[in-house]
């Protein structure tokens, strides 16, 4: 790794107000103070997520590419030129067309608008309900790109009935007919 690679992985901040600084800033844009020594913090690395793709989807992507699908942005080939804002907008429009209202958290009763993150959470909870074995949670962890297994395990919601059955198994008398 070169010094240029290291410089690219660091953001600078004002020690007084915490505003982000450019590499050449002499004065802070947030508080206006002269910068004697900036605080350097390493940028968070993007996670790599692995997703299985079925043959039909691969065939559709191949046809899309053959018909001029990918675009070039700043010299990089992009399969779909979507910003995260546009993806959010698409999710909102699809939810509206499908008649999906707000999502309600069954534990707290709080209402949430449909969003990409809420759909991701719903997918994760559904996946855990189908398979909450160690292997199932590990596969979900990889799919979601979580660094920590504990983050993925939080999707495992214990219902009152499940808790009651578990305690019942602990205390049942094995000798009784």
Where are the domains positioned within the chain?
3-42, 101-158
CA distance 73 to 64: 18
Token code pair at residue 30: 């947030």
For 165, the token pair is: 């059955």
- CA geometry: angle 88, 93, 97, nearest 5 deg: 150
DSSP-derived pairing of the beta strands 103-104 and 10-13:
unpaired
Q: What are phi and psi of 29, to 5 degrees?
A: -70, -20
Residues of the chain with pLDDT under 70: 1, 3-8, 45-50, 106, 158-161, 174-177
* Residue written as token pair 């008649």: 99
158 φ, ψ (degrees, to nearest 5) = -100, 120
Averaged pLDDT of the chain: 81
What pLDDT was estimated at residue 104?
A: 77
The pLDDT of residue 154: 85
* Each residue's pLDDT tens digit, 120-163: 888 888 888 888 888 989 999 988 888 889 988 888 876 566 77
């Amino acid at each position: 790794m070169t010094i240029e690679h290291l410089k690219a992985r660091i953001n600078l901040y004002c020690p007084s107000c915490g505003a982000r600084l450019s590499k050449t800033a002499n004065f802070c844009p947030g508080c206006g103070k002269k910068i004697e020594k900036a605080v350097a913090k390493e940028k968070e690395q993007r996670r790599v997520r692995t997703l299985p793709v079925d043959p039909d989807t691969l065939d559709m992507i191949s046809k899309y590419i053959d018909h001029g699908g990918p675009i070039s942005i700043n010299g990089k080939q992009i399969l779909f030129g979507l910003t995260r804002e546009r993806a959010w907008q698409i999710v909102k429009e699809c939810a509206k067309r499908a008649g999906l209202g707000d999502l309600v958290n069954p534990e707290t009763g709080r209402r949430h608008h449909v969003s990409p993150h809420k759909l991701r959470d719903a997918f994760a909870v559904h996946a855990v309900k189908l398979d909450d074995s160690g292997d199932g949670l590990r596969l979900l962890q990889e799919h979601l790109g979580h660094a920590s297994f504990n983050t993925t395990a939080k999707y495992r919601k214990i219902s009152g009935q499940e808790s009651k059955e578990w305690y019942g198994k602990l205390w049942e008398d094995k000798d009784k007919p």
